[in-house]
Amino acid sequence: MVVQLRYATLPWIGFIAVHYWFVVFGERERHRWEVWQTKNAGGFCIGHVHRDLKDPDAGVGGGPSRLAAEWTGDQADRIARVLDDCKRYPYCERYRYWPGPNSNTFVAWVLREAGIAQRLGRRAIGQSYQAAKQ
């Protein structure tokens, strides 16, 4: 198994913001996992969390996708397990461009849950969003 972290610039604001997502490559299939601003927009989804809404190689309207990181072995397995249990993501039903939660909040959450120390770029607005504990 291979898991890639990809990103692309956003339309109109790409100079300050990018959108991150995961692509999971299995033996015979590949899936794109991300949070999208529209709930239940297509593919498999739980609220704003989508699998296969877009082609894994597609950008998000502001330019082509780029590879940020790639994992194999145990690290890839851990990320894939978190993605397969995405209903645990605390913001499935909530989305805000700024300050979050958004696509980058989701990616940062998956990486934390999987125990992966990977920094996102400075244009990953929302990566450090965490709602106040109630």
Please tell me the predicted confidence (pLDDT) of residue 130.
82
pTM of the model: 0.93
Please tell me the predicted confidence (pLDDT) of residue 11.
77
Structure tokens at 37: 């601003």
Please tell me the predicted confidence (pLDDT) of residue 13.
66
Helix (H) or strand (E) holding 106: helix 103-114
Residue 57 has pLDDT above 60, yes or no: yes
Mean pLDDT of 47-55: 95
Q: Does residue 24 contact residue 30 with C-beta atoms inside 8 Å? A: yes
* Coil/strand/helix, residue 114: helix
Q: Which residue has the higher pLDDT, 25 or 62?
A: 25
Dihedral sign from CA coordinates of 12, 15, 16, 17: positive
Please tell me the predicted confidence (pLDDT) of residue 14.
66
Residue 55 has pLDDT above 80, yes or no: yes
Please tell me the predicted confidence (pLDDT) of residue 42.
86
Please tell me the predicted confidence (pLDDT) of residue 134.
34
Structure tokens at 50: 């989508």
Question: Which tens digit of pLDDT belongs to each residue from 65-116?
Answer: 999 999 999 999 999 999 999 999 999 999 999 899 999 999 999 999 999 9
**How many whole angstroms separate alpha carbon 96 and alpha carbon 100?**
5
Phi, psi of 3 (to 5 degrees): -120, 130
